[in-house]
Amino acid sequence: AFVQMEHTQKLSSIGRLAAGVAHEINNPLAIINEKAGLASDLMELAKDFPERDRFRALVDAILRSVERCRSITHRLLGFSRRMDVNIEQLDVNDVLKETMSFPEQEALHRSITTSVSLDQAMPRIASDRGQLQQVFLNILNNAFAAVPDGGSVTLATWLRDPDTVGVSIKDNGKGMSDEVLRHIFEPFFTTKKTSGTGLGMFITYGIIRRLGGDIAVQSKEGAGTTVSVFLPVKAAPTATLGS
Protein backbone atom coordinates (compact mmCIF):
# COMPACT_ATOMS: atom_id res chain seq x y z
CA ALA A 1 0.00 0.00 0.00
CA PHE A 2 0.99 3.57 -0.51
CA VAL A 3 0.32 6.81 1.34
CA GLN A 4 1.15 10.36 0.46
CA MET A 5 0.68 13.62 2.30
CA GLU A 6 -2.96 14.45 2.34
CA HIS A 7 -5.57 15.95 4.64
CA THR A 8 -3.06 18.76 4.97
CA GLN A 9 -5.56 21.14 6.46
CA LYS A 10 -6.79 18.63 8.99
CA LEU A 11 -3.27 17.71 10.10
CA SER A 12 -2.13 21.27 10.61
CA SER A 13 -5.12 22.01 12.82
CA ILE A 14 -4.42 18.83 14.79
CA GLY A 15 -0.86 20.11 15.14
CA ARG A 16 -1.99 23.46 16.46
CA LEU A 17 -4.34 21.80 18.91
CA ALA A 18 -1.62 19.44 20.11
CA ALA A 19 0.81 22.32 20.62
CA GLY A 20 -1.84 24.30 22.50
CA VAL A 21 -2.52 21.40 24.82
CA ALA A 22 1.22 20.81 25.32
CA HIS A 23 1.66 24.43 26.30
CA GLU A 24 -1.19 24.35 28.82
CA ILE A 25 0.08 21.14 30.35
CA ASN A 26 3.59 22.45 30.86
CA ASN A 27 2.75 24.59 33.90
CA PRO A 28 0.94 21.97 35.99
CA LEU A 29 3.70 19.53 35.01
CA ALA A 30 6.34 21.89 36.36
CA ILE A 31 4.34 22.14 39.59
CA ILE A 32 4.02 18.36 39.95
CA ASN A 33 7.73 18.09 39.35
CA GLU A 34 8.61 20.70 41.94
CA LYS A 35 6.22 19.38 44.62
CA ALA A 36 7.32 15.78 44.14
CA GLY A 37 10.92 16.95 44.48
CA LEU A 38 10.05 18.80 47.70
CA ALA A 39 8.21 15.78 49.09
CA SER A 40 11.29 13.70 48.39
CA ASP A 41 13.54 16.23 50.16
CA LEU A 42 11.16 16.28 53.12
CA MET A 43 11.42 12.52 53.43
CA GLU A 44 15.18 12.92 53.82
CA LEU A 45 14.41 14.57 57.18
CA ALA A 46 11.99 11.89 58.35
CA LYS A 47 14.69 9.39 59.23
CA ASP A 48 12.42 7.31 61.47
CA PHE A 49 9.55 6.96 59.02
CA PRO A 50 9.23 3.18 58.50
CA GLU A 51 7.89 3.38 54.94
CA ARG A 52 10.65 5.69 53.73
CA ASP A 53 11.90 3.46 50.93
CA ARG A 54 8.44 2.82 49.63
CA PHE A 55 7.68 6.52 49.70
CA ARG A 56 10.86 7.28 47.77
CA ALA A 57 10.05 4.65 45.15
CA LEU A 58 6.62 6.21 44.68
CA VAL A 59 8.02 9.70 44.28
CA ASP A 60 10.62 8.41 41.82
CA ALA A 61 7.89 6.81 39.75
CA ILE A 62 6.04 10.14 39.68
CA LEU A 63 9.18 12.00 38.63
CA ARG A 64 9.91 9.52 35.86
CA SER A 65 6.42 9.89 34.44
CA VAL A 66 6.64 13.66 34.64
CA GLU A 67 9.91 13.47 32.74
CA ARG A 68 8.27 11.46 29.99
CA CYS A 69 5.41 13.98 29.73
CA ARG A 70 7.90 16.80 29.54
CA SER A 71 9.86 15.21 26.73
CA ILE A 72 6.62 14.87 24.78
CA THR A 73 5.52 18.45 25.35
CA HIS A 74 8.99 19.76 24.52
CA ARG A 75 9.08 17.90 21.24
CA LEU A 76 5.65 19.18 20.35
CA LEU A 77 6.39 22.76 21.27
CA GLY A 78 9.77 22.66 19.57
CA PHE A 79 8.06 21.57 16.42
CA SER A 80 5.22 24.05 16.43
CA ARG A 81 7.19 27.09 17.46
CA ARG A 82 7.90 29.12 14.39
CA MET A 83 11.10 27.38 13.46
CA ASP A 84 13.87 29.55 12.19
CA VAL A 85 14.38 28.26 8.72
CA ASN A 86 17.97 28.63 7.69
CA ILE A 87 18.22 28.22 3.94
CA GLU A 88 21.57 27.55 2.33
CA GLN A 89 22.83 25.85 -0.81
CA LEU A 90 23.57 22.30 0.18
CA ASP A 91 24.45 18.91 -1.12
CA VAL A 92 21.75 16.41 -0.17
CA ASN A 93 24.24 13.54 -0.45
CA ASP A 94 26.41 15.19 2.21
CA VAL A 95 23.49 15.75 4.57
CA LEU A 96 22.42 12.14 4.17
CA LYS A 97 25.94 10.84 4.82
CA GLU A 98 26.24 13.01 7.93
CA THR A 99 22.96 11.73 9.26
CA MET A 100 23.91 8.12 8.62
CA SER A 101 26.82 8.42 10.98
CA PHE A 102 24.44 8.82 13.94
CA PRO A 103 23.06 5.27 14.02
CA GLU A 104 26.41 3.74 12.96
CA GLN A 105 27.04 2.15 16.35
CA GLU A 106 23.64 0.51 16.37
CA ALA A 107 24.19 -0.75 12.82
CA LEU A 108 27.46 -2.41 13.87
CA HIS A 109 26.04 -3.78 17.05
CA ARG A 110 23.00 -5.31 15.35
CA SER A 111 24.78 -6.34 12.13
CA ILE A 112 22.51 -4.17 10.02
CA THR A 113 23.79 -3.66 6.48
CA THR A 114 23.46 -0.11 5.22
CA SER A 115 24.04 0.48 1.54
CA VAL A 116 23.96 3.74 -0.32
CA SER A 117 23.46 4.57 -3.93
CA LEU A 118 23.92 8.30 -4.30
CA ASP A 119 23.53 10.14 -7.57
CA GLN A 120 26.80 12.03 -7.90
CA ALA A 121 25.51 14.46 -10.50
CA MET A 122 23.12 16.10 -8.06
CA PRO A 123 22.58 19.87 -8.10
CA ARG A 124 22.87 21.71 -4.81
CA ILE A 125 19.50 22.49 -3.31
CA ALA A 126 18.30 25.50 -1.34
CA SER A 127 17.23 23.98 1.95
CA ASP A 128 17.82 23.79 5.71
CA ARG A 129 20.60 21.42 6.83
CA GLY A 130 19.49 20.99 10.45
CA GLN A 131 15.90 20.31 9.53
CA LEU A 132 16.83 17.87 6.77
CA GLN A 133 19.03 16.01 9.24
CA GLN A 134 16.06 15.79 11.58
CA VAL A 135 13.90 14.41 8.77
CA PHE A 136 16.45 11.78 7.67
CA LEU A 137 17.19 10.80 11.26
CA ASN A 138 13.51 10.29 12.09
CA ILE A 139 13.07 8.09 9.03
CA LEU A 140 16.32 6.18 9.67
CA ASN A 141 15.35 5.56 13.29
CA ASN A 142 12.08 4.04 12.16
CA ALA A 143 13.88 1.89 9.59
CA PHE A 144 16.30 0.64 12.25
CA ALA A 145 13.44 -0.07 14.62
CA ALA A 146 11.65 -2.07 11.92
CA VAL A 147 14.46 -4.37 10.80
CA PRO A 148 15.59 -7.48 12.67
CA ASP A 149 19.26 -7.91 13.56
CA GLY A 150 21.08 -8.61 10.31
CA GLY A 151 18.51 -6.62 8.35
CA SER A 152 19.27 -4.05 5.69
CA VAL A 153 18.64 -0.38 5.12
CA THR A 154 19.25 1.14 1.69
CA LEU A 155 19.55 4.81 0.90
CA ALA A 156 19.37 6.36 -2.52
CA THR A 157 19.30 9.81 -4.07
CA TRP A 158 18.41 10.78 -7.58
CA LEU A 159 17.28 13.74 -9.65
CA ARG A 160 13.59 13.16 -10.27
CA ASP A 161 13.30 16.13 -12.62
CA PRO A 162 15.36 19.31 -13.06
CA ASP A 163 13.53 20.95 -10.14
CA THR A 164 13.24 18.03 -7.71
CA VAL A 165 15.64 15.83 -5.84
CA GLY A 166 14.51 12.44 -4.53
CA VAL A 167 15.81 10.67 -1.43
CA SER A 168 14.64 7.22 -0.48
CA ILE A 169 15.21 5.19 2.65
CA LYS A 170 14.26 1.58 2.25
CA ASP A 171 14.23 -1.15 4.87
CA ASN A 172 13.50 -4.86 4.72
CA GLY A 173 11.81 -4.78 8.10
CA LYS A 174 8.39 -5.74 9.34
CA GLY A 175 6.46 -3.29 7.17
CA MET A 176 3.04 -1.88 7.95
CA SER A 177 -0.55 -2.92 7.51
CA ASP A 178 -2.75 -0.61 5.46
CA GLU A 179 -4.39 0.47 8.69
CA VAL A 180 -1.10 1.56 10.28
CA LEU A 181 -0.01 3.24 7.04
CA ARG A 182 -3.17 5.31 7.01
CA HIS A 183 -2.32 6.89 10.36
CA ILE A 184 1.42 7.23 10.04
CA PHE A 185 1.52 11.06 9.82
CA GLU A 186 -0.86 11.66 12.72
CA PRO A 187 0.58 13.06 15.95
CA PHE A 188 0.81 10.48 18.76
CA PHE A 189 0.11 7.57 16.47
CA THR A 190 2.52 4.82 17.46
CA THR A 191 2.61 1.03 17.54
CA LYS A 192 5.70 1.04 19.79
CA LYS A 193 4.20 0.38 23.17
CA THR A 194 6.64 2.04 25.54
CA SER A 195 9.37 3.47 23.35
CA GLY A 196 7.33 5.45 20.83
CA THR A 197 5.91 8.96 21.00
CA GLY A 198 4.21 8.89 17.62
CA LEU A 199 5.71 12.27 16.84
CA GLY A 200 8.52 11.27 14.45
CA MET A 201 6.55 11.09 11.21
CA PHE A 202 4.28 13.96 12.22
CA ILE A 203 7.29 16.23 12.73
CA THR A 204 8.93 14.90 9.57
CA TYR A 205 5.81 15.70 7.62
CA GLY A 206 5.65 19.26 9.02
CA ILE A 207 9.28 19.99 8.19
CA ILE A 208 9.06 18.65 4.66
CA ARG A 209 5.96 20.67 3.99
CA ARG A 210 7.66 23.79 5.27
CA LEU A 211 10.60 23.14 2.98
CA GLY A 212 8.24 22.85 0.03
CA GLY A 213 8.80 19.12 -0.40
CA ASP A 214 6.70 16.00 -0.43
CA ILE A 215 6.86 12.57 1.22
CA ALA A 216 5.47 9.21 0.20
CA VAL A 217 5.53 5.94 2.11
CA GLN A 218 5.20 2.56 0.51
CA SER A 219 4.98 -0.52 2.68
CA LYS A 220 4.15 -4.17 2.71
CA GLU A 221 3.59 -6.12 5.89
CA GLY A 222 6.39 -8.60 6.45
CA ALA A 223 8.39 -7.27 3.51
CA GLY A 224 9.53 -3.76 4.29
CA THR A 225 9.04 -0.07 3.81
CA THR A 226 10.31 2.62 1.46
CA VAL A 227 10.02 6.24 2.48
CA SER A 228 10.62 8.69 -0.37
CA VAL A 229 11.25 12.37 0.22
CA PHE A 230 11.12 14.88 -2.62
CA LEU A 231 12.78 18.23 -2.20
CA PRO A 232 12.69 21.29 -4.42
CA VAL A 233 16.00 22.43 -5.87
CA LYS A 234 14.95 26.06 -5.39
CA ALA A 235 13.76 27.18 -1.95
CA ALA A 236 10.02 27.07 -1.37
CA PRO A 237 8.41 30.49 -0.81
CA THR A 238 7.17 29.38 2.63
CA ALA A 239 10.68 28.35 3.65
CA THR A 240 12.16 31.63 2.46
CA LEU A 241 9.60 33.58 4.44
CA GLY A 242 10.23 31.40 7.46
CA SER A 243 6.56 30.75 8.09
Tell which one of 103, 151, 166, 173 touches ligand ADP (CB under 6 A): 173
Q: What are phi and psi of 128, to 5 degrees?
A: -110, 115
Q: At its nearest, how many Å lie between ligand ADP and the CB of residue 147?
A: 8
Cα–Cα distance, 194 to 42 (Å, whole number): 31
Residue 189 binding ligand ADP, by CB under 6 A: yes
Give the shortest CB-11-to-ligand ADP separation in angstroms: 12
Task: State how far the Cα of 62 lies from the Cα of 200, in Å rounded to an integer.
Answer: 25
Given 72, 201, 215, 239, the residue binding ligand ADP (CB under 6 A): 201
Site string for ligand ADP, 55-94 (x = CB under 6 A): ----------------------------------------
Q: Which residue from 40, 93, 164, 197 is in contact with ligand ADP, where contact means CB under 6 A?
A: 197
Kindly tell me which residue out of 1, 198, 214, 234 binds ligand ADP, with binding defined by CB under 6 A. Answer: 198
Between CA 15 and CA 10 the distance in angstroms is 9
The distance of closest approach from Cβ of residue 23 to ligand ADP in the complex, given in angstroms and rounded to an integer, is 21
Q: Which of 29, 146, 208, 239 binds ligand ADP (CB under 6 A)?
A: 146
Is 37 an interacting residue with respect to ligand ADP (CB under 6 A)? no
CB of 183 to ligand ADP, least distance (A): 8
d(CA 87, CA 129) in angstroms, rounded, equals 8
Closer residue to ligand ADP in complex, CB, 127/142 = 142
Contacting ligand ADP (CB under 6 A), which of 19, 72, 184, 235? 184
Residue 23 burial (C-beta neighbours within 10 Å; 0-12, 13-18, 19+): middle
Question: Contacts by 107-114 with C-beta closer than 8 Å and gap 24+?
Answer: 107/144, 107/153, 110/144, 110/149, 110/150, 110/151, 111/149, 111/150, 112/144, 112/147, 112/149, 112/150, 112/151, 112/152, 112/153, 113/150, 113/151, 113/152, 113/153, 114/152, 114/153, 114/154, 114/155
The residues that touch ligand ADP, with contacts defined as CB under 6 A, are 138, 142-143, 146, 171, 173-176, 180, 184, 189-192, 196-202, 225
